[in-house]
C-alpha cells in the first residue's frame, strides 16, 4: 500500500511526463546554465539523477531536483534567471510561440527574475499543478506548498497575472508586494490577495537561509565529483571505488 508521500511522488512524475509529452519536439534550442550552486542539485537523465555543477546546462524538458540542502541559480539566453530552493522539483521548458513557458514547478519554491527585452515586455509563463502565472518582466516567487498542490504566488517587483489551472475563470492581477494562494478546490475568484507582506516575510526567511548556504563558502556539488556521474553510482563501472576500510584497533599501552 502506497504512503501519501509515495502517491504524491508518483503523481508529480506522471504530471511532469504529461507536460513533457505536450511540448513540441521541434523546439530543442535554449538551455539553462547553472551560475550558482550549493548542496545536492541534480537533473533527471534517462530516469536517473545526475549531479549538476556550476557551468552545466539543463536542456528543455529536463527535470531539476534539489535535496534538503540544495540551491541553484540558472540563467537562460535572454539573461533571465530562476532560483530553485531546497526540496524542489522543477521542469525547465522553452520558447513556445509568443509566450515562453519557462518552468513547471511540481514541488517546492522558485524565484524568477524576468529581464525586459530592450525595454519591451518579455512574455513568460510559469505553471504549477494548480496555477498559471503570466509575466512580462518582473521578479516573483512561486511555491507549491503541500500535498494538495496549493500554490503561493508573491510579487517582489512588477506585475503578474494568475489563473487557476483546474478551475477556469478570470485572471487575477498581482502588483508589487502582493501575494495570493491558489487552492486546488477553490476558485481563484474566492482567493484573497494579501497586501500586508505576511507571505513575503515567510519567503524572505527561506530565501535568507538558502543564500547563507551559498555565502558560507560551500563548494558547488559538495561531496560529489564534477564529472557528471549519476548521483548513486560510479563512472568507472569496471573499477568501482572500494568501500572504506576500518583502521586496525590501537594496541593497548603496556603497563609500567
Structural domain boundaries in the chain = 4-215
pLDDT at 117: 78
pLDDT at 71: 96
Report mean pLDDT in 10-residue bins for the chain, 256 residues. 49 48 42 95 92 95 95 92 95 67 94 86 92 92 93 94 94 93 93 76 64 56 41 40 48 53
Give the Cβ contact number of residue 228 at 10 Å.
13
pLDDT at 216: 63
pLDDT at 251: 53
Q: Which of 161, 155, 153, 150 is nearest to 125 (CA)?
A: 161
Residue 204 cell numbers, joined: 524572505
Sequence-distant (6+) residues with CB within 8 A of 61 are 20, 23, 91, 92, 93, 94
pLDDT at 122: 86
SS3 of 139, please? strand
Indicate the DSSP class of residue 130. Answer: S
pLDDT at 202: 63
Q: Which of 179, 184, 181, 221 is nearest to 204 (CA)?
A: 179
Cα 59 to chain center, whole Å?
Answer: 14
Q: Cell 565529483 appears where? A: 225
CATH architecture of the domain covering 4-215 = Sandwich (2.60)
Amino acid at each position: 500500500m502506497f504512503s501519501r508521500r509515495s502517491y504524491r511522488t508518483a503523481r508529480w512524475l506522471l504530471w511532469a511526463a504529461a507536460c513533457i509529452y505536450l511540448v513540441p519536439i521541434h523546439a530543442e534550442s535554449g538551455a539553462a546554465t547553472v551560475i550558482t550552486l550549493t548542496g545536492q542539485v541534480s537533473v533527471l537523465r534517462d530516469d536517473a539523477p545526475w549531479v549538476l555543477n556550476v557551468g552545466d546546462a539543463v536542456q528543455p524538458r529536463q527535470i531539476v531536483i534539489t535535496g534538503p540542502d540544495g540551491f541553484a541559480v540558472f540563467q537562460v539566453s535572454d539573461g533571465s534567471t530562476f532560483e530553485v530552493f531546497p526540496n524542489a522539483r522543477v521542469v525547465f521548458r522553452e520558447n513556445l510561440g509568443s509566450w515562453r513557458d519557462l518552468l513547471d514547478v511540481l514541488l517546492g519554491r522558485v524565484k524568477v527574475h524576468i529581464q525586459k527585452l530592450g525595454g519591451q515586455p518579455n512574455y513568460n509563463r510559469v505553471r504549477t499543478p494548480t496555477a498559471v502565472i503570466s509575466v512580462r518582466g518582473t521578479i516573483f516567487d512561486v511555491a507549491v506548498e503541500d500535498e494538495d498542490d496549493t500554490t503561493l504566488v508573491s510579487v517582489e517587483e512588477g506585475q503578474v497575472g494568475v489563473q487557476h489551472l483546474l478551475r477556469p475563470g478570470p485572471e487575477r492581477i498581482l502588483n508589487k508586494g502582493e501575494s495570493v494562494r491558489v487552492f486546488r478546490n477553490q476558485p481563484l475568484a474566492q482567493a484573497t490577495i494579501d497586501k500586508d507582506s505576511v507571505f513575503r516575510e515567510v519567503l524572505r526567511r527561506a530565501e535568507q537561509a538558502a543564500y547563507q548556504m551559498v555565502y558560507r563558502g560551500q563548494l558547488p556539488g559538495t561531496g560529489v565529483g564534477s564529472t557528471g556521474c549519476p548521483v548513486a553510482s560510479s563512472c568507472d563501472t569496471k573499477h568501482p571505488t572500494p568501500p572504506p576500510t576500518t583502521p586496525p584497533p590501537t594496541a593497548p599501552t603496556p603497563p609500567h
